[in-house]
Amino acid sequence: MSLYTKNFIHPEEKSLSKKKRFRYSPHFIYIGYLMQQKTRLLTKQEAIDSRKWHLLDAAGKTLGRFAAEVTKILRGKHRPDFTPYVDCGDGVVIINAEKIVVTGMKEARKIYRSYTGFIGGMREVPYDTLMARKPTEILERAIKGMMPKTRLGGQQVRKLRIYAGPEHRMKAQNPTPANI
């Protein structure tokens, strides 16, 4: 019998359990999954202490792709220590919301709907009308729609500030400009 056959067990190793036999046998290669590292999870206080603010420019960006990246930052998924049940996301300041673009025929065909709660209370506003009236509402709806519909999701959305023009009032938070 060859030493390299699959079922060969050295006589001294027969008394060991199967797991120890695998670990200590010179005929097998040690595999790292037996000693896994523990995942580091954030506490609420650590998340608050490490919170930062990011300044993002929406000029010329596509609506959905930009909203997905903002959502990732708000939730904290860009961090290596992301914890799903802790608000570990950073704050986001968006400027130039009026210069966001949509692809295809959405500018003419996209409709935003809301319901008042009364019979016949469905309100419909076209994209171009809403962009003329309140350009920040378009980005806010897109980002909120991608966030979880829970108390934690609501808490994370509160760290979002959107401004239509290039000026913002968040100088005290010292947001760092980021490219997306």
Q: Provide long-range contacts, Cβ within 8 A and 24+ apart, for 134-140.
A: 135/97, 135/98, 135/100, 135/164, 136/97, 136/162, 136/163, 136/164, 137/112, 138/63, 138/97, 138/100, 138/112, 139/58, 139/63, 139/66, 139/67, 139/94, 139/97, 139/100
User: Does one domain contain both 14 and 70?
Assistant: no
- 59 belongs to a structural domain: yes
User: Does one domain contain both 163 and 113?
Assistant: yes
| Predicted confidence (pLDDT) at residue 2 exceeds the cutoff of 60 | no
Q: pLDDT tens for residues 85-129?
A: 999 999 999 999 999 999 999 999 999 999 999 999 999 999 999
- 2 belongs to a structural domain: no
How many C-beta atoms surround the C-beta of residue 125 within 10 A? 16
- 134 belongs to a structural domain: yes
Confidence of residue 8 (pLDDT cuts 50, 70, 90): low
Structure confidence at residue 1 (pLDDT):
46
User: Does one domain contain both 83 and 30?
Assistant: no
Task: Determine the structural domain holding residue 26 and report its residue range.
Answer: 8-37
User: Does one domain contain both 99 and 150?
Assistant: yes
User: Does one domain contain both 21 and 106?
Assistant: no
- 103 belongs to a structural domain: yes
Confidence of residue 40 (pLDDT cuts 50, 70, 90): confident
- Per cent of the chain over pLDDT 70 is 79
In this predicted model, which residue has the larger pLDDT, 39 or 76? Answer: 76
User: Does one domain contain both 24 and 102?
Assistant: no
User: Does one domain contain both 67 and 118?
Assistant: yes
- What's at 118, amino acid-wise? F
Across the chain, what does the average pLDDT equal? 87
| Predicted confidence (pLDDT) at residue 31 exceeds the cutoff of 70 | no
User: Does one domain contain both 139 and 161?
Assistant: yes
